[in-house]
Amino acid sequence: MRADIEKVLIDEEQLQTRVREMAQQLTREYAGKDPVFVGVLKGVVMFFGDIVKQIDTPCQIDFMWISSYQGTNSTGGMQVRRDVSVDIEGRHVVILEDIFDTGNSLEFTYHHLLSKKPASLKICTLLDKPERRNPSVTVKPDYTGFVIPNEFVVGYGLDYNEHYRNLPYVGILKPEIYG
Ligand code: IMP
Ligand code: MG
Protein backbone atom coordinates (compact mmCIF):
# COMPACT_ATOMS: atom_id res chain seq x y z
CA MET A 1 0.00 0.00 0.00
CA ARG A 2 2.72 2.47 1.00
CA ALA A 3 4.65 1.47 -2.13
CA ASP A 4 1.82 3.04 -4.16
CA ILE A 5 2.54 6.48 -2.69
CA GLU A 6 4.70 8.81 -4.78
CA LYS A 7 5.23 11.31 -2.02
CA VAL A 8 3.96 12.08 1.48
CA LEU A 9 2.37 15.53 1.18
CA ILE A 10 1.36 16.04 4.84
CA ASP A 11 2.84 13.76 7.49
CA GLU A 12 1.24 12.63 10.75
CA GLU A 13 2.92 15.27 12.85
CA GLN A 14 1.89 18.11 10.53
CA LEU A 15 -1.68 16.79 10.53
CA GLN A 16 -1.86 16.58 14.32
CA THR A 17 -0.33 20.03 14.83
CA ARG A 18 -2.70 21.74 12.41
CA VAL A 19 -5.76 19.82 13.61
CA ARG A 20 -4.97 20.88 17.19
CA GLU A 21 -4.76 24.54 16.09
CA MET A 22 -8.08 24.27 14.27
CA ALA A 23 -9.70 22.66 17.32
CA GLN A 24 -8.43 25.50 19.51
CA GLN A 25 -9.90 28.07 17.12
CA LEU A 26 -13.28 26.28 17.05
CA THR A 27 -13.22 26.00 20.84
CA ARG A 28 -12.71 29.77 21.15
CA GLU A 29 -15.37 30.65 18.59
CA TYR A 30 -18.03 28.17 19.72
CA ALA A 31 -17.56 28.16 23.51
CA GLY A 32 -20.95 28.33 25.21
CA LYS A 33 -22.87 27.90 21.91
CA ASP A 34 -23.35 24.11 22.14
CA PRO A 35 -22.46 23.66 18.43
CA VAL A 36 -23.29 20.65 16.26
CA PHE A 37 -20.38 19.26 14.22
CA VAL A 38 -21.65 17.49 11.13
CA GLY A 39 -19.16 15.20 9.40
CA VAL A 40 -19.61 14.32 5.73
CA LEU A 41 -18.89 10.59 5.33
CA LYS A 42 -16.75 8.75 4.60
CA GLY A 43 -13.61 10.76 3.89
CA VAL A 44 -13.90 12.91 7.00
CA VAL A 45 -13.64 10.08 9.57
CA MET A 46 -9.99 10.50 10.62
CA PHE A 47 -10.10 14.30 10.65
CA PHE A 48 -13.44 14.27 12.45
CA GLY A 49 -12.29 11.98 15.25
CA ASP A 50 -9.05 13.87 15.76
CA ILE A 51 -10.57 17.36 15.78
CA VAL A 52 -13.65 16.77 17.94
CA LYS A 53 -11.52 15.04 20.60
CA GLN A 54 -9.69 18.33 21.05
CA ILE A 55 -12.69 20.66 21.03
CA ASP A 56 -12.96 21.70 24.64
CA THR A 57 -16.56 22.92 25.00
CA PRO A 58 -19.91 21.07 25.12
CA CYS A 59 -21.06 20.10 21.62
CA GLN A 60 -22.89 17.43 19.68
CA ILE A 61 -21.75 15.40 16.68
CA ASP A 62 -23.67 14.05 13.72
CA PHE A 63 -23.01 12.66 10.24
CA MET A 64 -24.29 12.98 6.70
CA TRP A 65 -23.59 10.72 3.79
CA ILE A 66 -24.15 12.09 0.31
CA SER A 67 -23.45 10.66 -3.09
CA SER A 68 -23.50 11.88 -6.65
CA TYR A 69 -25.40 10.16 -9.40
CA GLN A 70 -22.97 8.49 -11.78
CA GLY A 71 -21.86 10.41 -14.82
CA THR A 72 -22.65 13.91 -13.67
CA ASN A 73 -20.63 16.75 -12.24
CA SER A 74 -23.48 19.08 -11.46
CA THR A 75 -24.71 19.92 -7.97
CA GLY A 76 -28.16 18.84 -9.09
CA GLY A 77 -26.83 15.29 -9.37
CA MET A 78 -26.33 14.77 -5.64
CA GLN A 79 -28.51 12.91 -3.20
CA VAL A 80 -28.63 12.47 0.56
CA ARG A 81 -27.98 8.85 1.50
CA ARG A 82 -27.98 9.48 5.23
CA ASP A 83 -29.29 12.70 6.76
CA VAL A 84 -28.46 14.28 10.13
CA SER A 85 -30.46 12.90 13.05
CA VAL A 86 -30.03 15.86 15.41
CA ASP A 87 -32.63 18.62 14.95
CA ILE A 88 -30.38 21.51 13.87
CA GLU A 89 -33.04 24.24 13.70
CA GLY A 90 -31.76 27.21 15.70
CA ARG A 91 -28.40 25.49 16.34
CA HIS A 92 -24.87 26.60 15.51
CA VAL A 93 -23.68 24.08 12.92
CA VAL A 94 -20.22 23.43 11.51
CA ILE A 95 -19.85 21.10 8.52
CA LEU A 96 -16.61 19.10 8.64
CA GLU A 97 -15.21 17.79 5.34
CA ASP A 98 -12.07 16.07 4.15
CA ILE A 99 -11.50 18.12 1.01
CA PHE A 100 -12.96 21.09 -0.84
CA ASP A 101 -12.24 20.23 -4.45
CA THR A 102 -14.71 21.39 -7.15
CA GLY A 103 -16.91 22.46 -4.22
CA ASN A 104 -19.96 20.74 -5.71
CA SER A 105 -20.58 18.41 -2.78
CA LEU A 106 -20.21 21.15 -0.17
CA GLU A 107 -22.46 23.47 -2.18
CA PHE A 108 -25.11 20.77 -2.04
CA THR A 109 -24.53 19.86 1.63
CA TYR A 110 -24.51 23.51 2.71
CA HIS A 111 -27.85 24.32 1.10
CA HIS A 112 -29.38 21.07 2.32
CA LEU A 113 -28.48 21.92 5.93
CA LEU A 114 -29.37 25.60 5.51
CA SER A 115 -32.94 24.58 4.64
CA LYS A 116 -33.22 23.17 8.17
CA LYS A 117 -32.81 26.73 9.54
CA PRO A 118 -29.70 26.54 11.74
CA ALA A 119 -28.78 29.68 13.74
CA SER A 120 -25.45 29.68 11.89
CA LEU A 121 -23.75 27.40 9.38
CA LYS A 122 -20.03 27.25 8.61
CA ILE A 123 -17.71 25.00 6.65
CA CYS A 124 -14.49 23.52 8.02
CA THR A 125 -12.34 21.53 5.61
CA LEU A 126 -9.05 19.76 6.22
CA LEU A 127 -7.83 20.25 2.64
CA ASP A 128 -8.58 22.84 -0.04
CA LYS A 129 -7.65 22.42 -3.71
CA PRO A 130 -8.59 25.88 -5.05
CA GLU A 131 -7.36 25.21 -8.61
CA ARG A 132 -10.16 22.71 -9.12
CA ARG A 133 -13.03 24.98 -8.06
CA ASN A 134 -16.24 24.94 -10.09
CA PRO A 135 -16.84 28.64 -10.88
CA SER A 136 -20.57 28.28 -10.22
CA VAL A 137 -19.98 27.18 -6.60
CA THR A 138 -20.92 30.01 -4.22
CA VAL A 139 -19.92 28.54 -0.84
CA LYS A 140 -16.38 28.70 0.49
CA PRO A 141 -14.57 27.18 3.46
CA ASP A 142 -14.62 29.23 6.68
CA TYR A 143 -11.84 27.13 8.23
CA THR A 144 -9.13 25.41 6.16
CA GLY A 145 -6.41 23.05 7.37
CA PHE A 146 -4.11 23.00 4.35
CA VAL A 147 -4.26 24.47 0.83
CA ILE A 148 -2.85 21.81 -1.50
CA PRO A 149 -1.79 21.69 -5.17
CA ASN A 150 -3.92 20.09 -7.86
CA GLU A 151 -2.82 16.50 -7.18
CA PHE A 152 -4.92 13.46 -6.35
CA VAL A 153 -4.27 12.64 -2.71
CA VAL A 154 -5.14 9.67 -0.51
CA GLY A 155 -4.85 8.71 3.14
CA TYR A 156 -6.14 10.03 6.48
CA GLY A 157 -9.66 9.16 5.29
CA LEU A 158 -9.29 10.03 1.60
CA ASP A 159 -9.62 7.19 -0.87
CA TYR A 160 -8.94 6.00 -4.37
CA ASN A 161 -11.56 3.35 -5.25
CA GLU A 162 -12.27 3.01 -1.51
CA HIS A 163 -8.66 2.08 -0.70
CA TYR A 164 -5.88 3.94 1.15
CA ARG A 165 -8.25 5.59 3.68
CA ASN A 166 -6.30 3.94 6.51
CA LEU A 167 -2.94 5.53 5.70
CA PRO A 168 -1.98 7.78 8.64
CA TYR A 169 -0.73 10.61 6.36
CA VAL A 170 -1.91 12.44 3.22
CA GLY A 171 0.06 11.25 0.20
CA ILE A 172 0.11 11.64 -3.58
CA LEU A 173 -0.64 8.42 -5.47
CA LYS A 174 1.83 7.16 -8.06
CA PRO A 175 0.48 7.94 -11.55
CA GLU A 176 0.72 4.28 -12.64
CA ILE A 177 -1.90 3.32 -10.02
CA TYR A 178 -4.51 5.22 -12.02
CA GLY A 179 -4.01 2.62 -14.74
P1 IMP B 1 -15.94 18.11 -4.57
O2 IMP B 1 -15.33 18.02 -5.94
O3 IMP B 1 -15.45 19.35 -3.85
O4 IMP B 1 -17.42 18.02 -4.62
O5 IMP B 1 -15.40 16.87 -3.75
C6 IMP B 1 -16.11 15.69 -3.79
C7 IMP B 1 -15.41 14.56 -3.11
O8 IMP B 1 -14.42 14.09 -4.00
C9 IMP B 1 -14.65 14.88 -1.83
O10 IMP B 1 -15.46 14.90 -0.68
C11 IMP B 1 -13.71 13.71 -1.80
O12 IMP B 1 -14.36 12.58 -1.23
C13 IMP B 1 -13.43 13.46 -3.27
N14 IMP B 1 -12.11 14.02 -3.65
C15 IMP B 1 -11.84 15.18 -4.24
N16 IMP B 1 -10.52 15.32 -4.44
C17 IMP B 1 -9.95 14.20 -3.95
C18 IMP B 1 -8.60 13.73 -3.83
O19 IMP B 1 -7.60 14.38 -4.22
N20 IMP B 1 -8.44 12.51 -3.27
C21 IMP B 1 -9.47 11.76 -2.81
N22 IMP B 1 -10.74 12.15 -2.87
C23 IMP B 1 -10.97 13.36 -3.44
MG1 MG C 1 -15.71 13.18 0.92
User: Residue 134: CB within 6 Å of ligand 1?
Assistant: no
Cα distance between residue 117 and residue 123, in whole Å? 15
**Ligand 1 atom, smallest distance to 97 CA:** 10
Tens digits of residue pLDDT in 24-49: 999 999 999 999 999 999 999 999 99
Looking at all shown ligands, the one closest to residue 99's CA atom is: 1
Residue tagged active-site, from 50, 98, 101, 128:
101
Task: Give the DSSP letter string of 46-69.
Answer: HHHHHHHHT--S--EEEEEEEEEP
30-39, 67-76, 123-132: range with lowest mean pLDDT = 67-76
- E strand or H helix at 23: helix 12-30
Enter the pTM of the model: 0.95
Given a cut of 70, whether residue 70 has pLDDT beyond it is no
- pLDDT averaged over the chain? 94
Q: Would you state the torsion angle of the CA atoms of residues 158, 163, 168, 172, taken in this order, to the nearest 10 degrees?
A: -70
